[in-house]
Amino acid sequence: MKKLVTAALAAALLALTAQASVASQRDDPGGSTWDASAAAFRGHNGARYVFTCPSYGTASSVWGTDVYTDDSSVCTAAVHSGRITLAGGGTVTVEIRPGESSYTGSARNGITSSSYGAWSGSYVIVGATASTPGIGVGGSTWGATAGAFRTYVGARFAYTCPANGQPGSVWGTGVYTDDSSVCTAAVHAGLITVAGGGSVTIEMRAGESSYTGSTRNGITSSSYGAWVGSYVFPAAAGGGGGTIGSPSAPPPPKPSVAVNVGGATGTVLVKLPGQSSFATLQGSAQIPVGAQVDATQGSVALTSAEGTATFKQGAFVVREPAAPAAARVTDLVLTGGDFGACPKASRRSASAGAKPKVVRRLWGNGKGRFRTTGRYAAATVRGTSWRIEDRCDGTNVTVASGTVTVRDLRRKRNVIVTAGHSYLAKR
């Protein structure tokens, strides 16, 4: 009996020790404002702390790039590193590091960090979960603009336009300067009328190098040169539809945040996250990661922070998980098609020589770190011409030029495919 009691006590002690160990590995809370820094944790090298960044934040001071001084705003540093946005905020995990002899500033994702000499404490960002803000309140008069929301690129704001309003000044077509009257731009875009008024939603965009004026729906907008902020109407036809893009070149792509599309031939459609229908691409546009592109009836040039390539004959969703620059890849995940027409795997084809049915495909040609992902395989390239097809018998990758690394998702192995060859990842 004494041995049983002793064994039970030992087991209980072991369980408590394990629980304490797990608890000690949890990341401690850091701060919950955009001003919060990691200076209070100086000297806790290797420890990790979680900071909460509310939506619609205000940027604060930051010193360094990738490695930041510990008195830098953690939330602002997370925007600088491309982990979250000012509009959405989110949670950010930092790891405390010793001081550095110097820190180098840079301009990234709308945030400019400063350089500094020796400092006694540092941190790096080791994780983040970005949030998506809801639709904010914009304004309720015909004179209301979007200038106050300039820093919240990607955020959406709702405006109420009273009936029988007084039109104001507007610059641009499709993409408008953020100091344009939102209600007047909505009339120009064909969403509402001056007599009837109505409610509209805008989406904030970065500044453009130029804006083209035009006369539409009784409103004449003006042309303008470079400006620091823009907006568009994402729901031009009720939850999507209409057109997307402008004649002006979009700003540079943002790593793991946004890519640029343009140079379309034929018909190319784009569906932004949160919308229910596609818009026709006209000119060029910057679209967020998570957007869906349909180039089954055309071709489109896609530029990410990792390179430029042209894609055609397929539809895909743009993905680019946050990662260090050397490991980051732009992933185009095939979408669409009806696999219900494929026979069950256990059934033999009606004809042994029958050509496998292709459910969906995508051609790619360009340079950069791109991956096209099908149902059973993913093809990673750095500069080549290739095709990926989801068929009833598996995912087939064909290489026209260059070399492709194919990941067989079912068999969990990599296969190198060279020009003139193909690989079938069987289902």
Per-residue model confidence (pLDDT) at position 235: 58
**Whole-angstrom Cα distance, residue 224 to residue 241?**
27
**Helix/strand/coil percent split, the chain, to 5:** 10, 45, 45
Question: Other C-beta atoms within 10 Å of 183: how many?
Answer: 32
Query: Coil, helix or strand for 25?
Result: helix
Question: Other C-beta atoms within 10 Å of 347: how many?
Answer: 8
Per-residue model confidence (pLDDT) at position 63: 97
Q: What's the residue count for the chain? A: 427
**Whole-angstrom Cα distance, residue 157 to residue 190?**
18
Residue 336 exposure: Cα atoms within 13 Å on the Cβ side: 17
Residue pLDDT tens, the chain, 427 long: 433 334 444 444 444 443 433 333 445 688 889 999 999 999 999 999 999 998 888 999 999 999 999 999 999 999 999 888 888 888 999 999 999 999 999 998 889 999 999 999 999 999 998 887 778 888 889 999 999 999 888 888 888 888 888 999 999 988 999 999 999 998 888 777 787 777 788 988 888 889 999 988 889 999 999 999 999 987 553 444 566 777 777 888 989 988 999 988 888 888 887 666 787 888 888 888 998 999 988 899 999 999 999 999 999 999 998 888 888 999 999 998 888 878 876 544 444 556 788 999 999 999 999 999 999 988 888 778 999 999 999 999 999 999 999 999 999 999 999 999 999 999 8
Mind giving me the DSSP string for 139-154?
Answer: ESSTT--SGGGTT-TT
Q: Are the CB atoms for 34 and 75 separated by under 8 Å? A: yes
Q: Of 387, 366, 385, nearest to 377 (Cα)?
A: 387
Cα-Cα-Cα-Cα torsion 184, 190, 193, 198, nearest 10 degrees, comes to -80
3-state secondary structure 185-200: HHHHCCCCECCCEEEE
Instruction: Tell me the helices (H) and strands (E) count for the chain, helix number first.
Output: 3, 30
Sign, CA torsion 215/221/222/225: negative
Non-local (6+) Cβ contacts of 35 within 8 A are 60, 73
Question: Other C-beta atoms within 10 Å of 185: how many?
Answer: 31
Sign, CA torsion 409/414/417/421: negative
The C-alpha R_g of the chain, in whole angstroms, comes to: 26
What are the two backbone dihedrals, phi and then psi, of residue 183, each rounded to the nearest 5 degrees? Answer: -65, -40
**Whole-angstrom Cα distance, residue 128 to residue 82?**
10
Domains of the chain: 28-130 (2.170.130.20), 134-233 (2.170.130.20), 337-343+350-426 (no CATH)
Mind giving me the DSSP string for 58-126?
Answer: -----BEESEEETTS-HHHHHHHTTSS-TTT-EEEEEEEEE--S-B---EETTEEPBPB---SEEEEEE
Q: Give me 350's structure tokens.
A: 């009606």
Q: What is the pTM of this model?
A: 0.48
